[in-house]
Amino acid sequence: QSVLTQPPSASGTPGQRVTISCSGSTTNIGSNTVSWFQQLPGTAPKVVIFSDNQRPSGVPDRFSGTKSGTSASLAISGLQSEDEADYYCAAWQDSMNGVVFGGGTKLTVL
Amino acid sequence: EVQLVESGGGLVQPGGSLRLSCAASGFTFSNYWMHWVRQPPGKGLVWVSRIKTDGSITSYADSVKGRFTISRDNAKSTLYLQMNGLTAEDTAVYYCASNLVSSGSFWGQGTLVTVSS
């Protein structure tokens, strides 16, 4: 059971916009920033959003992040087949002195 | 080019020990907090441990506390994870990562640890 809650799956057709939610509490998302990681099949995770809504260089602006209270969302617009991957949210957990992850969302491009 | 290369994984018997290494290049290793994250087969990501830039602060997930030890050698740009008292539940791909939840997050390709008799 993950501390952060994500839907196990999401899907969309090419060109569509999809969002993935991440729900936490006041001791993680509510008081710390959120990062989002993309894990393509058979590869290591890669950050696509950090500090709630910042994109690292090289990540397309189709990827965006938002946060409100104890929840965060990752949005992918203009969906492409290469976006098919597992996506994980993460945040610092104050009471644990460590990082907590969501359970991951498998995004399928139909 | 930023690179993190893990090594040291393999098959170990229950109760055994293993030391993982993570060699960093392409960035100033000593400026970054470093983390270990693991992923059991077919499952999600789980944070394991972190260490401050100068090694003065460390923290661990409850599941590994007292059994695993994180350390670093900034002169060699290398991160370590000493794992003792291994159980089947420790079977996973282990990743090293920098600045996990802030800017400058880079990940290695992972090394597989299998605990089995």
pLDDT digits (tens, 9 = 90+) for A17-38: 999 999 999 999 999 999 999 9
pLDDT beyond 90 at A82: yes
- CB contact, 8 Å: B46 with chain A? yes
B17 touches chain A (CB under 8 A): no
Q: Find which of B27, B36, B47 to mutate to test the A interface (most A CBs within 10 Å of its CB).
A: B47
Strands (E), A1-110: 9-12, 18-23, 34-39, 46-49, 63-68, 71-76, 85-93, 98-101, 105-109
Burial of A61 (0-12, 13-18, 19+ CB in 10 A): exposed
pLDDT at A68: 96
Share of chain A above pLDDT 70, in %: 100
Which residues in chain B (71-110) have CB-CB distances under 8 A to chain A?
Answer: 95, 97, 100-103, 105, 107-110
Q: Which residues of A touch B98 (CB under 8 A)?
A: none
Residue B102: the pLDDT is: 85
Residue B104: what pLDDT? 84
| pLDDT score, position A96 | 86
**pLDDT (average), residues B87-110:** 94
> Which chain A residues are within 8 Å of B61, Cβ to Cβ?
96, 98
Q: Which amino acid, one-letter code, is at B9? A: G
Contacts of A103 in chain B (CB under 8 A): 44
Residue A49 has pLDDT above 90, yes or no: yes
Closest chain A residue to B57 measured between Cα atoms?
A97
Q: Is the pLDDT score of B70 beyond 90?
A: yes
Cβ atoms of residues A33 and A24 within 8 Å: no
Q: Residue range A96-109: average pLDDT?
A: 96
Residue (of B24, B16, B14, B13) closest to B95 by Cα position: B24
User: Does the pLDDT at position A101 exceed 90?
Assistant: yes
Q: What is the pLDDT of residue A98?
A: 95
Q: Which residues of B touch A31 (CB under 8 A)?
A: none
Instruction: List chain B residues with CB under 8 Å of A102.
Output: 44
Share of chain B above pLDDT 70, in %: 100
A35: left (phi over 0), alpha (psi -120 to 50) or beta: beta
Q: What is the pLDDT of residues B7-53, one digit of tens each?
A: 999 999 999 999 999 999 999 999 999 999 999 999 999 999 999 99
**For residue B89, is pLDDT > 90?**
yes
pLDDT at A95: 83
Q: Which residues of A touch B95 (CB under 8 A)?
A: 44-45
Q: Residue B31: what pLDDT?
A: 95
Best of A34, A37, A47 to mutate (most B CBs within 10 Å, chain B): A47
The pLDDT mean for chain B works out to 97
Percent of chain B with pLDDT over 90: 95
CA distance A55 to A58: 8
Residues contacting residue B43 through CB under 8 Å, at least 6 positions apart? none
Q: Is the pLDDT of residue A1 over 90?
A: no
Please name the member of A32, A33, A44 whose beta carbon is closest to the beta carbon of B95.
Answer: A44
Report residue A52's pLDDT band, with 50, 70 and 90 as the boundaries: very high
- Closest chain B residue to A33 measured between Cα atoms? B101
pLDDT given for residue A65 in this prediction:
98
